[in-house]
Amino acid sequence: MLNSLDLPGRPEDTRIVVAMSGGVDSSVVAGLLAREGYDVVGVTLQLYDHGAATHRKGACCAGQDIHDARRVAETLGIPHYVLDYESRFREAVIDPFARSYVEGETPIPCVACNRTVKFSDLLATARDLGAAALATGHYVRSALVDPASGRRAMFRPADAARDQSWFLFATTQQQLDYLRFPLGHLPKARTREIARELGLAVAEKSDSQDICFVPQGRYSDVIAKLRPQAAEAGDIVHLDGRVLGRHEGILHYTVGQRRGVGVAAGEPIYVVHLDAPGNRVIVGPREALGASRIFLRETNWLGEGALEDLPAEGLAIHAKVRSTRGPAPARLFAAGGRVHVDLETPESGVAPGQACVFYADDSEGARVLGGGFIERAEREAGAEAALARLIAGAAASNARQPAAAMARGHMAGARAD
């Protein structure tokens, strides 16, 4: 007979490691499991220490949060450990985050943190501690779909407003089988009520938000410090070829952006593409943003069967390309080692580096089938052709410059002779 976490044995004979960030959600997870009688061990990761960020409202995994997690563990009477993962966090999350911006992408550091530091490194630590599972405070549900193998599936949570499945698409099947999400069936309001019932000091603590390791929420300051070249000035170019002005670094822009572009064109203009090699921000009208085909990389599949065995006509799914948007009808294709999604209705502001997450349908409890990072988006034919001409023109110009410089050098040498 299985216990409430779908594990064999009595709760008191089952060790569970809880990832405690110091916030109300993970604290309630620890409290609920301890109240049920599980052998709970709390683990908090120290991921960074940015001075002001350690006490900033909405931050996590820094000084104050570690203190809060320790207080909760004391209240619950469970052992608690703090692990220093600062160097690993920088290597797996912060450095790739900065590098992605330099390459003209809009990365999601929370996804990188979940799939590396939290669900890989911490999961290994939980196993070393003899835990049968690692529990977190994420708002997502998982359920046993194959009792014989222990295989689990991921689903959207009961509280749609707190749905974090988009950020967890990269969770591998092996990780998912070991993870537990006790808050997936609860609304956030009830979570806070439970925190009060348990007498936890963090019951009214603000939720973490934005990018946790960025002081005052100014990510551009962090990127400029780590990758100064991302703050180099360059041209703002219209799709029709006009140079409209200058920018102070492509790190200040993202695809789909309208406010703060910094130039006037006599019509509303949006960031259509970030040309990192040419250090150009390419802008155009809103209709140039619509993307109907999205090419993916690093795809993670959580559905039935193998991804490469999808039918030639594709698989009907619902896809979500922004954390703030709902899943929309689409078809998923995988052939020749490449994966792409065709959207039934074009989406605007599809940015490289963001995620395209697959769902079985658009219901509130829909199964999560996986997802991938957006490599590029294919726009309507006119915008795609205009962008291709701009990129090709810049590449040809860059190729001519070294040749011209070499020719000048030869001429100067000949005159000297």
State the catalytic residues: 113, 212
- Which residue is associated with the tokens 């949060």? 65
| Residue 22, burial from CB neighbour count under 10 angstroms (0-12, 13-18, 19+) | buried
Distances from the Cα of 65 to the Cαs of 49, 62, 69, 149, in angstroms?
A: 11, 5, 6, 37
Q: For residue 381, what are the contacts with CB-CB under 8 A and spacing of at least 6?
A: none
Cα separation of 188 and 176, whole Å?
Answer: 22
Cα separation of 296 and 290, whole Å?
Answer: 17
Give the number of residues written for the chain: 417
Q: Give the angle subtended at the CA of 352 by the CAs of 346 and 357, to the nearest 5°.
A: 65
Cα separation of 255 and 103, whole Å?
Answer: 13
**Residue from 294, 290, 314 nearest 381 by CA:** 290
Neighbours of 245 (CB within 10 A): 15
Cα separation of 283 and 239, whole Å?
Answer: 6
**Residue from 190, 9, 229, 216 nearest 99 by CA:** 229
Strands 141-146, 355-359: parallel, antiparallel or unpaired by DSSP? unpaired
Gyration radius (Cα) of the chain, Å: 24
Element (DSSP H or E) covering residue 84: strand 80-84
Cα separation of 390 and 384, whole Å?
Answer: 10
SS (H, E, C) 340-385: EEEEEEEECCCCCCCEEEEECCCCCCCEEEEEEEEEEEEECHHHHH
- Partners of 320 in beta bridges: 357
